[in-house]
Amino acid sequence: MRDQVRLVGDTQRAFAKRLVDEMPIGWIVKFVEPTRTNDQNARMHAMLADVSRAEPMGRKHTPDDWKAIFMNACGWECQFTVGLDGRPFPQGFRSSRLTVKQMSNLIEYIFAFGAEHDVAWSEPTERKAA
């Protein structure tokens, strides 16, 4: 039995209804918003690389560190743990779990931050957060 169905049209909707009708009593059905798109993910990573290269406010961070910093600024929990080499690294954040809308908000936040700190974008500056 399939564990998820992406509703992209009437055929998938009918299939999902049939699956619900066939499920045994006691099973749990969960409806969730779609997660971020591949285009959003690619855009975010390009922007994080641009921010990292720009070193705004004199801060030198890897793109992954910037991602954790921006996710934390947008209200998503991020923690830093000290690695075996004594250097801190981010953990507990997963942009892959963000919804399309949440990812759009994160991209817009990064864009606004970059605009305030004169980040030169490698992609066109007219952004559509999708």
Domains in the chain: boundaries: 1-31, 34-116
What per-residue confidence (pLDDT) applies to 1? Answer: 56
What per-residue confidence (pLDDT) applies to 92? Answer: 67
* Residues near 57 by beta carbon (within 8 Å), at least 6 away in sequence: 117
pLDDT band (50, 70, 90) for residue 128: very low
CA-based nearest residue to 110, from 75, 69, 57, 76:
69
What per-residue confidence (pLDDT) applies to 95? Answer: 85
- Of 3.10.28.10, 1.10.3790.10, 1.10.10.10, 1.20.120.10, which CATH number belongs to 34-116? 1.10.3790.10
What per-residue confidence (pLDDT) applies to 75? Answer: 87
Share of the chain above pLDDT 70, in %: 90
pLDDT greater than 60 at residue 130 = no
Residue 67 phi/psi, 5° resolution? -60, -45
How many other β-carbons are positioned within 10 Å of the β-carbon of residue 101? Answer: 12
Q: List, for residues 33-61, the tens digit of each pLDDT value.
A: 888 999 999 999 999 999 999 999 999 99
